[in-house]
Amino acid sequence: MKIMGLQEATLIDYPGKIACTIFLYGCNFKCGFCHNPGLVLKPKGREYSREEIFEFLKKRKEYLDGICITGGEPLLSLDLEFLSRIKRLGYSIKIDTNGSFPEKLKEIIEGELVDFVSMDIKSHKDNYDKITNSNVDIDKLEKSMKLVSELQNYEFRTTIIEGIHDMEEVKKIAVWLNEIIGKKPKKFCLQGFKTQKKLIDENFEKKKNTSDIFLNELKEEVKNYFEEVEVRV
């Protein structure tokens, strides 16, 4: 488990909490639009030791409510003892995941080591291999969808890229989630793509930011499939 980043405070990454964010290196997907390519392809910057993290958490206990663990794909390497030590300090834990490790996710949930899960839905299942540049086991994604939907606090989220995620695509995602879970999911977040330099695929650096207007149009299209749909820009 390589800890390659620490954001000391965030009001965004963990809904409703003042949190810090821990970034783990490594991912089994190679999405061209990934904003953390240095955490996916090869580590950049310095590596934090576990003890450095715990010393920070002990000092900041008075100011922070929660911890978000993200990546890369954190479940690729996340250590359960690491989570246990965080819980013993009294923090709430949120994990961001692409859903491709349901066995690990189940173990963490059953061990009561996570309080909130945010699962990325990259596309409808028919397009997953193309979007992620990977051979994706859809059965594993669907197992994770079911596990996540049984939690009290969770969300599914899709990064929307105009020209890739149109009305039809997003509606197919909504229908797919409803079919697998067997009911309306609690929350679905539409995240606007924002271009930047040094993405995994330089072609995405030429794409424009997703417009607020388009995100809200998508929200109207799928709002009846979820208890709540949120636009994040």
For each of the domains in the chain, give its residue range(s) and CATH number, in order of start: 3-232 (3.20.20.70)
Count of beta carbons in the 10 Å neighbourhood of residue 167:
13
- How far is it, in rounded angstroms, from Cα 133 to Cα 105? 23
- Beta-strand runs (E) in the chain: 3-10, 19-24, 66-70, 92-97, 116-120, 154-160, 187-192, 228-232
Determine how many CB atoms are found less than 10 A away from the CB of residue 153: 17
For residue 26, the model assigns a pLDDT of 93
Residue type (1 letter), 124: H
pLDDT at 59: 97
Token pair recorded at residue 5: 């980043």
- The pLDDT score that the predictor gives to residue 233 is 79
pTM of the model: 0.95
The 10 Å CB-count burial string (b at 16+, else e) for 97-131 is bbbbbbebbeebbeeebbbbbbbbbbbbbebbeeb
Calpha distance 230→223 (Å, rounded): 9
Whether the bond into 66 is cis, omega within 30 of 0: no
pLDDT in tens, the chain (233 residues): 999 999 999 999 999 999 999 999 999 999 999 988 778 877 777 899 999 999 999 999 999 999 999 999 999 999 999 999 999 999 999 999 999 999 999 999 999 999 999 999 999 999 999 999 999 999 999 999 999 999 999 999 999 999 999 999 999 999 999 999 999 999 999 999 999 888 888 889 989 999 999 999 999 999 999 999 999 97
CA distances 168 to 70, 175, 181, Å, are: 29, 11, 20
**What is the Cα–Cα distance from 66 to 223, expressed in whole angstroms?**
29
